[in-house]
């Protein structure tokens, strides 16, 4: 498949595309008809008779080909006709390229005599051809062979040039736009005439050779306007070695007027270490100003000074603000913050600047420095890698390091001098409590009774007394084995009263031990009080209710579906005593027995709305009482009653005139409690006394010093 | 094989006495016998829990429907069985992610029940109860009791506010870097600490009382056993 290769990136493209698919460079040059206004000015420097390029010929200007061949030492190729360039470049640039191609060509003058313009023949000390017919025609012929602005370089055709420029319209050679308000006779051309007539140096703004020498045609193509290379580009190219002089080359024969130009002085007085233009461009690179002083010495044309004077101060301020900070400014700023940046890295040496190996810029050094120089990975500057650490942050970091260091150090285990006394104290306390319990149980039984009737006990007794005969009572027993004694003492009197009334119990528990403890509780109460309560006839045990709060909620909503059977596997709700029970509200009383405050609160929350508060009684451990008091003392109440601990159980038994489990423990319990209180007071007093003694001792030591 | 009930009681009492004394010996220091008792208790509880779970949950909810009606029973137990199977995958680190479905179901339902119950059973009723003493129109108390009711309500309100203020830990940072609550919050917080200390003291006293009851019950059982032994001997 036939392809066309991109002149910029070198990649193949289909033959029918006009723009490179990879770099979007134009593959087929555009051709635009020059306007009539600009055609006259353009034709002044164009040689029209240029053969077409061969298809395989690279799109290079003649001057670049010639200079490359000079560098490589090859035989100069036949001068290519620049007709193809007419398709590539605008007319203005073609004029420049033609001129530069002519300038760099090594073809003998005889071979292209007809193409050598008159001004060039003057430079070669050749006799220009005689004018043909009229000054006007001579002037027009001269315009065809050289740009008008170079006309004042030559000495002989001054008049013809002046006449031609004045005769025709003053048009910019670059844009084709006529100059307005500029008097060429007095501004531009008069300066050249004056300088040459007086034998003085040309004005500073006028370059020594040509303002477009050294400008690459592709740059001109991109910008559309003739540009001078930047000082950096000039310095880079100046390092190229100068091609060996060719004998008879006109460029080595510098005319006297050219020696006096500033550019020539620049070339000769250049310091050795100063960067030189590339080799193939030496001698053609115009001198450029490097300092502001030199710039100020340049005399600009009037129209340019007028334009410069029209810049408003506000615009200058905006430009100043847009100016990026210099390295010195950044260094001062960093120095003010206590951090100095590293010195900027120096420009790589000339040898490190790569040479283009492909494309139209083949052989040029440092032409496209973006990849190796700009995108080159550099060591990050110190200012970027260092943190801004304030004094406070530094102090905190030091403190943190000190803490870490101290954490790593092994710390000696403090010797506990009180370990042995603590063991002894524990033993003594246990002994005291055991003795109190034994004395209370054996020596002084039934010596004391609880005096007060608490409101909770009264309400509980009322709820039990209101139970009908053969009532059905739901007992929710969430008791662990360790608290069974207290819960038995708390509920024994109440359960005894219920058994007297012949209540039928339904047992359920939300913890796994509760069902077993519930069964044991009823057995113990029945045995202690002489009842004949047995499973099935006296109670059914529904067993363990799984699910926590969710299980409680489900149980509250549908008791028969959630707990359909007993622990023995029988149907719970088909017995004669429970056939009327469908919901929780069908029970005559619901008693929750628990020593867990969380479990008690969950039952209150989940039973709310399903059991009337008047039929809900809680028998809890003494440690749960503070949690349940708000529910009981609220207005309206959320529960009917709270029996808390052995005290309420003993009160209940006393009020019921029954000697149950609570009263059997009561005397020993009261004595143990008093012993415990005494031990707490004695221990607190001893430690307080020891602390006072230590304080006084320390105070005496301080006063003694 | 029939055992004599007094002999069983005697044997049970002897084991109980031995275990009680060994547990009491923990006060003098940790030793192997106490550890044996603790390990035995933990193992016994675990085994008992498994039995209870099987008897109360697995068998009646999983096997019983299949036994009663093998055809429709599968429909009843399919979803719980599937979720239970996913929960078993939590044992495998590679497949444990699949068990998150069951876990999410459990957590979601549990939290929904907890939050709903807390709002209906605790938050709203308790807030209403804290306000109600000041509602003299709706109060059923006698005129002379209303004053005491208002005073009691004020104390409850004051205690509630100061206690909740103590748990307000927000503070604005100062220039020195320290953070301290405003003075008026500090004052109320200090008063709230008194109420909290009273409540905690009450809970601690209840805990001590429960412990005393357990100790007295154990001592009484031991004494009864010894008396029984003396009587028998």
> How do residues A475-485 score in pLDDT, each as one tens digit?
999 998 888 98
Q: Which of A423, A546, A622 sits opposite B28 (nearest CB)?
A: A423
Q: Which of B122, B207, B209 sits opposite A605 (nearest CB)?
A: B122
Q: Given this model, what pLDDT does residue A247 score?
A: 47
Span B30-50, mean pLDDT? 90
- Residue A99 is predicted with a pLDDT of 53
Predicted local confidence at residue B64, as pLDDT = 86
Most confident of A130-134, A211-215, A626-630: A626-630
Which chain A residue lies closest to B127 (C-alpha atoms)?
A634
- Confirm if A634 and B125 have CB atoms less than 8 A apart: yes
Lowest-confidence segment of A223-227, A603-607, B100-104 by average pLDDT:
A223-227
**Around A392, how many Cα atoms within 13 Å sit in the side-chain half-sphere?**
2
A-chain residues within 8 Å CB-CB of B24? 430
Inter-chain residue contact B56 with A664, CB threshold 8 Å: no
3-state secondary structure chain B: CCCCHHHHHHHHHHHHHHHHHHHHHHHHCCCHHHHHHHHHHHHHHHHHHHHHHHHHHHHHHHHHHHHHCHHHHHHHHHHHHHHHHHHHHHHCCCCHHHHHHHHHHHHHHHHHHHHHHHHHHHHHHHHHHHHHHHCCCCCCCCHHHHHHHHHHHHHHHHHHHHHHHHCCCCCEECCCCCEECCHHHHHHHHHHHHHHHHHHHHHHHHHHHHHHHHHHHHHHHHHHHHHHHHHHC
Position A475 scores a pLDDT of 94
- Chain A nearest-CA distance from B78, in A, is 18
Domain membership flag for residue A80:
no
Query: Could you tell me what percent of chain A has a pLDDT over 70?
Result: 50
Pick the residue with more confidence: A113 or B152? B152
Which residues 6+ apart lie within 8 Å of A580 measured at CB?
Answer: A586
| Mean pLDDT, residues A425-429 taken together | 85
Confidence band, pLDDT 50/70/90 cuts, at residue A219: very low
Cβ pair A434, B219 in contact under 8 A: yes
Quote the pLDDT of residue A135: 43
- Asked if B120 lies within 8 A of A609 by C-beta distance, the reply is yes
Nearest residue to A196 (alpha-carbon basis) of A162, A225, A153: A153
Question: What pLDDT is attached to residue A296?
Answer: 60
Q: Where are the alpha helices (DSSP H) in A466-510?
A: 484-500
Which of A255, A278, A301 terminates a domain? The answer is A301
Q: Do B219 and A635 touch (CB under 8 A)?
A: no
Quickly state the pLDDT bin for A312 (edges 50, 70, 90): low
| Selected residues 550-569 of chain A with any CB under 8 Å from a CB in chain B | 550, 552-553, 564-565, 567, 569
A693-to-A198, A681, A690, A697 alpha-carbon distances in Å: 119, 18, 5, 6
Q: What is the pLDDT of residue A139?
A: 43
pLDDT of residue A191 exceeding 60, the answer is no
Is A207 a residue whose pLDDT tops 50? Answer: no
Domain ranges of chain B: 135-172+179-233
At residue A260, the pLDDT reads 56
What's the confidence (pLDDT) of residue A218?
44
Q: Quote the number of domains for chain A.
A: 2
State whether residue A13 is helix, strand or coil: strand
Of A268, A301, A334, which residue is a domain's last?
A: A301
Q: Does residue A508 register a pLDDT over 90? A: yes
Nearest to residue A241, comparing CAs of A197, A269, A282? A282
Instruction: Examine the pLDDT at B143 and tell me if it is beyond 50.
Output: yes
What pLDDT is attached to residue A165? 45
CB contacts of A623 in chain B (<8 Å) are 203, 206-207, 209-210
Q: Where among A244, A274, A301 does a domain terminate?
A: A301
Max mean pLDDT among A135-139, A353-357, A374-378, B179-183 falls in B179-183
Is residue B96 within 8 A of residue B89, CB to CB? The reply is: yes
Higher pLDDT, B166 or A186: B166
**CA A421 to CA A474: how far, in whole Å?**
50
| Highest averaged pLDDT of the listed ranges A101-105, A172-176, A408-412 | A408-412
Residue A242 burial by Cβ neighbours in a 10 Å radius (0-12, 13-18, 19+): middle
**Is the pLDDT at A503 greater than 80, yes or no?**
yes
ipTM, 2 dp: 0.84
Strands A12-13 and A4-5: antiparallel
Give the residue from A509, A512, A664 with the most B CB atoms within 10 Å of its CB, the best one to mutate.
A512
- CA torsion sign for A260, A262, A263, A268 is positive
For residue A622, the chain B residues in CB contact (below 8 A) are 205-207, 209-210
Domain range for A256: 230-301
pLDDT in tens, A56-96: 444 566 777 776 666 666 555 444 444 444 444 555 555 55
Ranges A442-456, A631-645, A672-686: which has the least confidence: A442-456
Average pLDDT of the residues in A270-278: 52
Question: What DSSP line would sit under A435-465, residue for residue?
Answer: HHHHIIIIISTT--------HHHHHHHHHHH
Mutate which: A455, A486, A511, vs B, most B CBs within 10 A: A486
- Cross-chain Cβ contact A543/B55 below 8 Å: yes
Q: Which residue has the higher pLDDT, B144 or A689?
A: A689
pLDDT per residue over A569-609, tens digit each?
A: 888 888 888 888 889 999 999 999 999 999 999 999 999 88
Across chain B, mean pLDDT equals: 86
Nearest by CB to residue A605, choosing from B117, B209, B219, is B117
Q: Are strands A589-594 and A616-620 parallel, antiparallel or unpaired?
A: parallel
Partner residues linked to A642 by β-bridges: A618
Asked whether the beta carbons of residue B52 and residue A544 sit closer than 8 angstroms, the reply is yes
**What is the nearest CA distance from B48 to chain A, expressed in angstroms?**
8
Is A396 an 8 Å CB contact of chain B? no
Distance from CA of A593 to the nearest CA of B (A): 14
Which of A483, A512, A638 is facing B48, going by the closest CB pair?
A: A512
Query: Does A678 contact B at CB distance below 8 Å?
Result: no
Question: Does residue A186 lie in a domain region?
Answer: no
pLDDT reported for residue A369: 55
Of A513, A634, A672, nearest to B216 by CB-CB distance is A672
More confidently predicted of A251 and B123: B123
A91 within a domain of the structure (yes/no) = no
Asked if B214 and A485 come within 8 Å (Cβ–Cβ), the reply is: yes
> For the segment A670-699, what is each residue's pLDDT rounded down to a tens digit?
999 999 999 999 989 999 999 999 999 999
Least confident of A211-225, A340-354, B6-20, B201-215: A211-225
Give the pLDDT score at A696. 93
Range name among A5-9, A172-176, A402-406 with the lowest pLDDT average: A172-176
pLDDT greater at residue A568 or residue B140: A568
Q: Which residues pair with A618 in a beta bridge?
A: A592, A642
pLDDT at A182 > cutoff 50: no
Which chain A residues contact residue B212 at CB under 8 A?
A: 433, 669, 672-673, 676
Do B218 and A482 count as a contact with CB atoms less than 8 A apart? no
Contacts of A515 in chain B (CB under 8 A): 52, 56
Residue with tokens 């004056």: A194
């Amino acid at each position: 498949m036939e392809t066309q290769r991109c002149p910029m990136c070198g990649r193949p493209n289909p033959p029918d595309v006009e723009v490179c698919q990879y770099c979007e460079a134009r593959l087929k040059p555009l051709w635009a008809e020059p306007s009539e206004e600009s055609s006259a000015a353009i034709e002044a420097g164009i040689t029209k008779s240029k053969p077409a390029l061969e298809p395989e010929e690279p799109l290079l200007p003649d001057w670049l080909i010639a200079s490359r061949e000079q560098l490589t030492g090859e035989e100069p190729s036949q001068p290519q006709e620049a007709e193809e360039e007419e398709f590539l470049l605008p007319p203005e640039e073609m004029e420049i390229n033609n001129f530069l191609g002519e300038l760099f060509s090594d073809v003998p003058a005889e071979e292209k005599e007809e193409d050598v313009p008159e001004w060039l023949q003057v430079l070669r000390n050749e006799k220009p051809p005689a004018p043909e017919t009229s000054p006007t025609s001579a002037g027009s012929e001269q315009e065809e062979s050289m740009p008008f602005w170079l006309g004042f370089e030559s000495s002989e055709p001054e008049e013809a040039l002046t006449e031609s420029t004045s005769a025709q319209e003053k048009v910019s050679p670059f844009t084709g736009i006529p100059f307005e308000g500029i008097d060429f006779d007095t501004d531009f051309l008069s300066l050249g005439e004056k300088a040459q007539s007086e034998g003085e140096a040309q004005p500073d703004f006028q370059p020594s050779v040509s303002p477009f020498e050294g400008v690459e045609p592709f740059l001109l193509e991109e910008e559309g306007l003739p540009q001078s290379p930047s000082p950096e580009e000039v310095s880079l190219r100046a390092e190229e070695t100068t091609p060996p002089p060719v004998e008879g080359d006109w460029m080595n024969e510098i005319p006297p007027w050219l020696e006096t130009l500033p550019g020539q002085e620049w070339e000769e007085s250049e310091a050795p270490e100063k960067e030189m233009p590339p080799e193939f461009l030496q001698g053609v690179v115009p001198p450029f100003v490097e300092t502001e002083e030199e710039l100020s010495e340049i005399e600009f044309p009037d129209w340019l000074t007028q334009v410069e004077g029209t810049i408003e101060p506000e615009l200058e301020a905006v430009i100043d603000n847009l100016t990026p900070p210099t390295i010195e400014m950044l260094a001062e700023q960093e120095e003010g913050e206590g951090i100095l940046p590293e010195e900027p890295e120096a420009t790589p040496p000339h040898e490190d600047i790569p040479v283009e190996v492909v494309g139209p810029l083949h052989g040029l050094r440092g032409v496209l420095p973006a990849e190796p120089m700009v995108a080159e990975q550099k060591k990050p500057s110190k200012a970027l890698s260092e943190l801004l650490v304030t004094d406070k942050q530094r102090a905190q970091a030091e403190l943190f390091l000190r803490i870490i260091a101290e954490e790593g150090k092994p710390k000696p285990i403090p010797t506990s001098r009180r370990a042995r006394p603590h063991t002894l104290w524990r033993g003594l306390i246990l002994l005291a409590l055991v003795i109190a319990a034994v004395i209370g149980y054996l020596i002084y039984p039934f010596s004391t009774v609880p005096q007060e009737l608490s409101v909770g006990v009264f309400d509980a007794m009322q709820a039990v007394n209101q139970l009908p005969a053969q009532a059905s009572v739901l007992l929710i027993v969430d008791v662990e084995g360790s608290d069974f004694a207290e819960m038995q003492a708390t509920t024994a009197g109440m359960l005894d009263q219920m058994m007297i009334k012949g209540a039928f119990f339904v047992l359920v528990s939300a913890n796994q031990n509760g069902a077993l403890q519930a069964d044991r509780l009823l057995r113990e109460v029945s045995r202690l009080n002489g009842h004949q309560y047995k499973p099935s006839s006296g109670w059914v045990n529904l067993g363990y209710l799984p699910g926590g709060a969710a299980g409680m909620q489900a149980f509250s909503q549908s008791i028969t579906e959630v707990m359909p059977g007993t622990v023995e596997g029988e149907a719970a709700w088909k017995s004669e005593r429970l056939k009327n029970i469908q919901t929780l509200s069908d029970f005559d009383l619901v008693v929750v027995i628990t020593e867990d405050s969380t479990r008690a609160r969950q039952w209150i929350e989940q039973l709310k709305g399903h059991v009337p508060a008047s039929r809900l009684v809680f028998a809890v451990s003494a440690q749960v009482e503070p949690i349940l008091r708000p529910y009981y003392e609220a207005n309206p109440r959320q529960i009917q009653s709270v029996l808390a601990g052995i005290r309420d159980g003993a009160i209940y038994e006393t009020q019921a005139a029954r000697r149950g489990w609570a009263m059997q423990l009561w005397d020993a319990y009261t004595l143990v409690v008093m012993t415990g209180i005494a031990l707490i007071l004695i221990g607190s007093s001893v430690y307080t006394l020891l602390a006072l003694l230590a304080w006084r001792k320390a105070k005496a030591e301080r006063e003694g010093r | 094989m029939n055992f004599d009930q007094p002999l069983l009681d005697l044997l049970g009492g002897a084991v109980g006495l031995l275990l009680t004394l060994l547990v009491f010996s923990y006060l003098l220091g940790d030793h192997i016998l106490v550890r044996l008792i603790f390990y035995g208790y933990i193992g016994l509880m675990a085994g008992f829990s498994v039995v209870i779970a099987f008897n109360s949950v697995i068998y009646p909810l999983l096997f019983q429907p299949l036994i009663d009606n093998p055809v429709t029973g599968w429909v009843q137990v399919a979803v719980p069985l599937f979720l239970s199977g996913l929960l078993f995958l939590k044992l495998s680190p590679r497949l444990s992610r699949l068990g998150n479905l069951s876990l999410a179901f459990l957590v979601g339902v549990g939290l929904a029940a907890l939050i709903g119950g807390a709002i209906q059973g605790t938050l709203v009723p308790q807030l209403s109860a804290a306000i109600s003493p000041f509602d003299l129109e709706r109060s059923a108390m006698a005129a002379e009791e209303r004053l005491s009711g208002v005073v009691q309500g004020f104390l409850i309100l004051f205690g509630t506010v100061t206690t909740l203020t103590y748990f307000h830990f927000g503070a604005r940072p100062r220039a020195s870097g320290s953070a301290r609550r405003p003075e008026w919050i500090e004052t109320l917080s200090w008063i709230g600490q008194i109420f909290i200390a009273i409540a905690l003291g009450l809970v601690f006293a209840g805990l001590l009382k429960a412990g005393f009851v357990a100790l007295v019950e154990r001592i009484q059982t031991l004494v009864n056993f010894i008396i029984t032994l003396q009587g028998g001997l």
